């Protein structure tokens, strides 16, 4: 008579370190699946932008200022023949603001972005878990240049932009460190900028005496 084969599974206890590593691995797997569009877990308001723009290459046809530009693809949300992008996590001084006008180092920042991007192919990367549009319905994105370097990071590292602390994003800590390095080296605007020339939001965070 045939004997029945019994298999007993034994689960060994995991150390705290291994449990932590497993959690990290699981999070990375989920993130990778989302970014590859294999899981439909993104908010419905974000998903159309993710499918249309994320990790795709377009040509810059106009630079508005240091942190805002237009690319050569229609924007279905705005029903416009081009798409306007606002860079995630950075804020360059204004050049045409209706209230603040031309701010200190605004033209220099705009020229820096124009020299690097105008009529050039750029790769657009969106945040996986944050909103894809700002209150003006501009697409929020990280821009990668033809050499695959980050425009967002270059603006900060060379002192053409402020690390925008008002909003959460995946590179927030890195962007703040790039800004600190530029401050220490007195690069770009950090060489001569005066407190009254900071954007109001920056003064509100860093100057307790500031009264808007």
84 is catalytic: no
Q: In the block, which residue shows the tokens 């501009």?
A: 138
166 is catalytic: no
62 is catalytic: no
Q: Find the catalytic residue in 86, 114, 123, 153.
A: 86
Q: Find the catalytic residue in 94, 114, 127, 153.
A: 94
Q: Find the catalytic residue in 123, 127, 138, 153.
A: 138
Q: 14 CB contacts (<8 Å, ≥6 apart)?
A: 22
Of 96, 95, 59, 67, the residue nearest 156 (C-alpha): 67
| Structural contact between residues 140 and 96, judged by C-beta atoms closer than 8 angstroms | no
What are 150's strand-pairing partners?
Answer: 144
Of 121, 147, 131, the residue nearest 86 (C-alpha): 131
CA dist., res. 116 & res. 103, Å (int): 21
Name the DSSP letter for residue 189: G
- Alpha helices of the chain — where are they, by DSSP H? 16-35, 47-53, 106-117, 151-157, 172-185, 200-206
User: SS3 of 95, please?
Assistant: coil
Which positions are catalytic? Answer: 86, 94, 138
């Amino acid at each position: 008579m045939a004997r029945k084969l019994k298999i007993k599974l034994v689960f060994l206890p995991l150390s705290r370190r291994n449990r932590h590593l497993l959690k990290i691995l699981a999070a990375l797997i989920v993130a990778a699946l989302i970014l590859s569009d294999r899981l439909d877990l993104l908010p419905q308001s974000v998903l159309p932008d993710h499918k249309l723009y994320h990790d795709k290459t377009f040509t810059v046809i106009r630079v508005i200022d240091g942190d805002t530009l237009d690319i050569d693809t229609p924007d279905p949300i705005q029903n416009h023949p081009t798409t306007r992008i606002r860079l995630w996590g950075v804020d360059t001084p204004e050049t045409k603001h209706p209230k603040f006008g031309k701010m200190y180092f605004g033209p220099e920042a705009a020229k820096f972005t124009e020299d690097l991007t105008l009529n050039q192919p750029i790769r657009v990367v969106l945040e996986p878990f944050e909103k894809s549009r700002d209150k003006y319905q501009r697409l929020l994105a990280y821009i990668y240049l033809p050499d695959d370097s980050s425009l967002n990071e270059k603006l900060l590292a060379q002192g053409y932009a402020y690390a925008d602390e008002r909003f959460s994003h995946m590179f927030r800590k890195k962007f703040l460190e790039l800004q600190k390095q530029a401050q220490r080296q007195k690069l770009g605007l950090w060489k001569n900028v005066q407190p009254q020339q900071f954007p109001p939001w920056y003064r509100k965070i860093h100057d307790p005496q500031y009264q808007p």
